Amino acid sequence: MRHGAGFAAVLKEAGFAVEECWISLSLDDAGIIRWLSALPRPVALMTTNDEIGWKMVHLCQEAGLKVPDDCAVVGVDNDPVV
């Protein structure tokens, strides 16, 4: 099972709709901003760590989204440095 597929499988099993394009492991900053600017916009992002989560907060702002009003961002490693 490829990285991210397990996450999608658990969400689907719990009854959530999941589009493959919602799970990305390789977009650059410009690609992420394009994705955040497209419709429908995401209402939440989950990242694999807090450092990437912090970066996503800044990219959301560059895309014109207000965090957390327009889009919530979650990092999962509880990094005390961030």
What pLDDT sits at residue 1?
46
Mean pLDDT of the chain: 84
The number of C-alpha atoms within 13 Å of 61 and in the hemisphere containing its C-beta is 8
Distance CA 20, CA 9 (A): 11
Split into its structural domains, the chain has a count of 1
| 19 within a domain of the structure (yes/no) | yes
- Summarised one tens digit per residue, pLDDT across range 13-53 is 999 888 776 776 667 888 888 888 888 888 888 888 888 89
Counting residues of the chain whose pLDDT is more than 90, the rounded percentage is 28
| 80 within a domain of the structure (yes/no) | no
Counting residues of the chain whose pLDDT is more than 70, the rounded percentage is 87
* Enclosing domain of residue 29: 5-75
What pLDDT sits at residue 58?
95
* Rg for the chain, CA atoms, rounded: 13
Phi, psi of 13 (to 5 degrees): -60, -30
